[in-house]
Amino acid sequence: MKYFNRWFVPAALALLSACSFHQVPMAVLPVGPAPREEIKSSNEGFLMVYSAWSLFNDYPSSTDHHSRYTITSDDGKLNKEVQNHIDRFDEGPIRLPLTPGSYKVSARSAHSGRVVVPVIIKERQTTVVYLDGSSPSDVVQAHAANMVKLPNGQIVGWSAEPPVK
């Protein structure tokens, strides 16, 4: 019993202290629509967030889902939690129609915890945010200088700012 108390208390303190710290969300540059992608049927823009895979399934199924995220408009008119899939058989992410403007997305990243990504939604274009560890590999080579990255090098999306020449 005397050995149990000697090792249990320090081990418990070490484990409990790790749970008590809250990570501060990381901020990155604004992400905008992919180059030359236009949708001709609507005046709205669209947002797709490839958030980290959910640790918990909302439904008892074998399908994994992208985790939920929160979107807030810069003018404060919109503050919404988005369930990032349509139903229990859909992996997502959903394509969210939005009024053109500036927003902030707070979502879980696969490698950096919770991040806050400013996004620009443009009329008839889709802005895509990659936080699940994947990247738009087919387009990266052509637009590598115009990519927004997390500090660990993970590609988040295309820069909303014009590339510096």
Give alpha helix (H) positions in 118-162.
137-140
CA 84 – CA 123 distance, rounded (Å): 22
Q: How confident is the model at residue 61 (pLDDT cuts 50, 70, 90)?
A: low
Query: Residue 59 above 70 pLDDT?
Result: no
Query: What whole-number distance in Å separates Cα of residue 117 and Cα of residue 131?
Result: 10
In CATH terms, 24-159 corresponds, of 1.10.10.410, 1.10.1740.10, 2.60.40.1120, 3.20.20.110, to 2.60.40.1120
Cα 52 versus chain centre, distance: 7
Q: Residue 131, Cα to own-chain centre: how many angstroms?
A: 5
The pTM for the full model equals 0.68
pLDDT value at 45 more than 70:
yes
Residue identified by tokens 């879980």 is: 108
